[in-house]
């Protein structure tokens, strides 16, 4: 593949994948405003995040077999159309319950980009190349959490929260046009792979019996669940409890996203020098320690704004290293059913994210403790689970 074509592919994959984090991060500064607009409490508003992650988890198993049977582009068309339509509905929502439901359908559309982009990477690249590709994708995808809260904060200030969803609808339409104009068809469209429920269940069953696949998927998923617990809890913690303005919070959030991107690029160098599993083990230790210190410091009441911010920065930045490595290792041995493997990987990861986000929302009681506890539990569980599932004989 030429360098020009490679760059075009990364930009296209990054854009459709970034629709999901944009749908989360752009409206984060608006969460307190949504509580006021709908006369609701913080926990109820945070359910609009949990419903998005639930839709993201539920939708992916359907896209996988369809993408393996019909190719990559047609399922992506359907997903991007659903995303655009649901974003329009969110812009017109008249109650928090309506918004929660529509966020679920918005996620059903957005998850098509996640499933199909991972499958395309596995279609085109060998296992030893995919870590580099996924790390490079983090550079593009990472722009979303860096810029989205800043854009969302400004849009909120000038035009109100509904304008955020009008923008998301427009981005979905751009994604449709980009897919039609320049997206490659890398799957074997029209191949004889059966789309029956029985075959799909057998494929997913085989994947779940693969110790490596499950271990890497859950390890990455737990790490990400801690990050999404931070995403769910940080607007109220930093805006309402620590007194940051919406714009100041956006700068803080963007700084964490920058750390995520920089560490993802550092990861490219690390995996060329060290074994992938050695890098994963080191990052899991960093995450677990950061989570434990965050929880202990929050319970003791000694962290404050800056201490909390530093430990969250360490945790979130480390995801930039953990996620591309665990994703590449989980997908490495499943080229024939890359769509299904990508779908199940995403389902497992975002199911954990939905649970973590819902837990933070339901436990909200006016302190950062639920967020800190969720981050710590996810970090420690990822550390323990990796050692329980991923045997040393599977090291790359």
56-89 tens-digit pLDDT: 878 878 877 777 777 778 888 899 999 999 999 9
Average pLDDT over residues 321-335: 81
Query: Which segment of 18-27, 181-190, 329-338 scores lowest on mean pLDDT?
Result: 181-190
Q: Decide if pLDDT at 175 tops 50.
A: yes
**pLDDT attached to residue 222:** 92
**pLDDT attached to residue 302:** 85
Q: Decide if pLDDT at 382 tops 60.
A: yes
Half-sphere exposure of 162 (CA within 13 A, CB side): 10
Q: Is 190 within a domain?
A: no
Q: Decide if pLDDT at 148 tops 90.
A: no
CATH number for the domain harbouring residue 46? 1.20.1250.20
For every residue of 169-212, DSSP letters joined together read: HHHHHHHHHHHHHH----S-TT-S----HHHHHHHHHHHHT-HH
Q: What percent of the chain has pLDDT over 70?
A: 88
More confident residue, 347 or 145: 347
pLDDT category, 364, cuts 50, 70, 90? low
**pLDDT attached to residue 396:** 44
Phi, psi (degrees; rounded to nearest 5) at 195: -105, 15
Q: Tell me which DSSP letter residue 239 carries.
A: I
Q: Is 188 within a domain?
A: no
Q: Is 209 within a domain?
A: yes
Which tokens hold the place of 315? Answer: 């945790």
Q: Is 308 within a domain?
A: yes
Name the H helices within 26-142: 31-37, 42-70, 73-91, 96-124, 127-141
Q: Decide if pLDDT at 336 tops 70.
A: no
Contact 215, 383 (CB under 8 A): no
Number of domains in the chain: 1
**pLDDT attached to residue 195:** 54
CA distance 208 to 62: 16
CA distance 348 to 345: 5
Q: Is 186 within a domain?
A: no
Q: Is 189 within a domain?
A: no
More confident residue, 327 or 333: 327
CA distance 342 to 324: 13
pLDDT category, 27, cuts 50, 70, 90? confident
**pLDDT attached to residue 207:** 82
Q: 89 vs 36, 77, 95, 109, 368, CA distance in Å?
A: 20, 19, 11, 13, 32
Which tokens hold the place of 72? Answer: 């990559």
CA distance 111 to 52: 10
User: Domain containing 359: what range?
Assistant: 3-181+195-394
Q: Decide if pLDDT at 384 tops 80.
A: yes
Q: Is 389 within a domain?
A: yes
Q: Is 304 within a domain?
A: yes
Q: Decide if pLDDT at 141 tops 70.
A: no
Q: pLDDT averaged over the chain? A: 82
Contacts of 384 (CB under 8 A, 6+ apart): none
**pLDDT attached to residue 327:** 84
């Amino acid at each position: 593949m030429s360098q020009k074509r490679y760059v075009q592919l990364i930009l296209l994959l990054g854009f459709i994948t970034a629709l999901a984090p944009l749908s989360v991060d752009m409206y984060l500064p608006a969460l307190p405003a949504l509580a006021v607009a709908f006369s609701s409490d913080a926990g109820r508003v945070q359910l609009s995040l949990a419903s998005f992650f639930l839709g993201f988890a539920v939708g992916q198993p359907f896209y996988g077999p369809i993408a393996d049977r019909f190719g990559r582009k047609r399922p992506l068309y359907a997903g991007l159309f659903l995303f655009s339509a649901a974003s329009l509905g969110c812009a017109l929502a008249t109650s928090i319950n309506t918004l929660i439901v529509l966020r679920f359908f918005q996620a059903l559309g957005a998850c098509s980009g996640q499933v199909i982009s991972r499958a395309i990477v596995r279609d085109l690249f060998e296992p030893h190349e995919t870590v580099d590709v996924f790390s490079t994708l983090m550079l593009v995808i990472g722009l979303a959490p860096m810029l989205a809260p800043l854009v969302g904060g400004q849009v909120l200030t000038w035009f109100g929260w509904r304008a955020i969803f009008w923008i998301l609808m427009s981005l979905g339409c751009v994604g449709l046009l980009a897919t039609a104009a320049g997206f490659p068809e890398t799957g074997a469209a029209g191949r004889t792979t059966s789309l029956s429920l029985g075959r799909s269940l057998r494929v997913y069953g085989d994947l779940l019996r693969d110790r490596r696949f499950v271990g890497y998927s859950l390890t990455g998923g737990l790490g990400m669940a801690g990050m999404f617990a931070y995403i769910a809890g940080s607007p109220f913690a930093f805006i309402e409890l620590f007194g940051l303005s919406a714009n100041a919070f956006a700068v803080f959030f963007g700084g964490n996203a920058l750390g995520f991107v920089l560490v993802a690029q550092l990861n490219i160098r690390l995996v060329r020098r060290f074994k992938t599993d050695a890098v994963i083990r080191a990052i899991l230790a960093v995450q677990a320690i950061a989570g434990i210190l965050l929880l202990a410091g929050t319970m003791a009441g000694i962290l404050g704004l800056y201490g909390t911010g530093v430990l969250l920065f360490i945790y979130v930045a480390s995801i930039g290293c953990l996620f591309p490595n665990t994703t590449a290792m989980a997908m490495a041995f499943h080229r024939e059913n890359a769509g299904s493997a990508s779908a199940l990987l995403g389902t497992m990861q975002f199911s954990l994210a939905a649970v973590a986000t819902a837990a933070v929302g339901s436990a909200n009681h006016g302190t950062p403790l639920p967020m800190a506890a969720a981050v710590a539990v996810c970090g420690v569980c990822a550390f323990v689970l990796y050692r329980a599932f991923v045997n040393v004989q599977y090291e790359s």
